[in-house]
């Protein structure tokens, strides 16, 4: 009889353990940290500038002595290409905000693109001092890029024409704080 009790008790314990294991929430998969590959300069040049330029150039009105020429996307392929550029521009801010991404490669940290642009080492320090502002500017760019993507999906030529200035302002706001603050107009 004692053996039966021990067997029954052991079975009950095993059953309770199995049930409690089965009702537990599955563990969330481990988060793989993002590893930056390119620098902020590279993301800006290869993705942001190129994508923004494609959107800027997609709609234009040129008036000359020979007449007026209107440039706009007309074919499915042209609209598909613009969707590609708008999506790239909308995703780029996510890349810019990856923790640990450097402004430039170590061998380029003391160079600048012009007389009023800070060297990357100083830009990096300004971003580190105010990461929240840098992220806000990246979010502003993403919001404008999403608006551009909406215009592309709606095949709105006027929307594309109008969004160019908003993209330029989103970029310039960040540049005036982080890249060439000496050009910032006093408030």
Phi-psi region of 67 (alpha: psi -120 to 50; beta: other; left: phi over 0): left
Q: Is the pLDDT of residue 44 over 80?
A: yes
pTM reported for the whole predicted model: 0.79
Structural contact between residues 87 and 50, judged by C-beta atoms closer than 8 angstroms: no
Token pair of 134, please? 């840098």
User: Using CA atoms, how far apart are residues 111 and 108, in angstroms rounded to an integer?
Assistant: 5
Mean per-residue pLDDT over the chain, rounded: 88
Q: What is the pLDDT of residue 73?
A: 96
Q: What is the pLDDT of residue 186?
A: 60
| The most confident of 61-65, 115-119, 143-147, by mean pLDDT | 143-147
Of 52, 44, 43, 42, nearest to 85 (Cα)?
A: 52
Q: Is the pLDDT of residue 20 over 60?
A: no
Structural contact between residues 163 and 54, judged by C-beta atoms closer than 8 angstroms: no
């Amino acid at each position: 009889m004692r053996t039966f009790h021990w067997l029954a008790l052991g079975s009950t314990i095993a059953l309770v353990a199995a049930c409690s294991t089965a009702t537990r929430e599955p563990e969330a998969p481990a988060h793989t940290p993002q590893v930056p590959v390119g620098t902020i300069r590279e993301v800006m040049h290869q993705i942001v500038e190129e994508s923004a330029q494609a959107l800027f150039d997609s709609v234009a009105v040129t008036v000359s002595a020979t007449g007026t020429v209107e440039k706009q996307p007309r074919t499915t392929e042209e609209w598909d290409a613009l969707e590609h550029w708008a999506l790239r521009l909308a995703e780029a801010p996510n890349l810019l905000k990856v923790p640990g991404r450097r402004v430039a490669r170590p061998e380029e940290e003391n160079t600048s693109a012009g007389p009023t642009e800070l060297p990357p080492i100083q830009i990096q320090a300004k971003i580190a001092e105010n990461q929240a502002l840098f992220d806000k500017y990246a979010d502003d760019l993403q919001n404008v890029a999403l608006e551009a993507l909406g215009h592309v999906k709606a095949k709105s030529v006027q929307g594309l024409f109008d969004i160019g200035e908003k993209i330029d302002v989103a970029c310039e706001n960040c540049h005036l704080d982080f890249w060439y603050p000496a050009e910032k107009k006093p408030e």
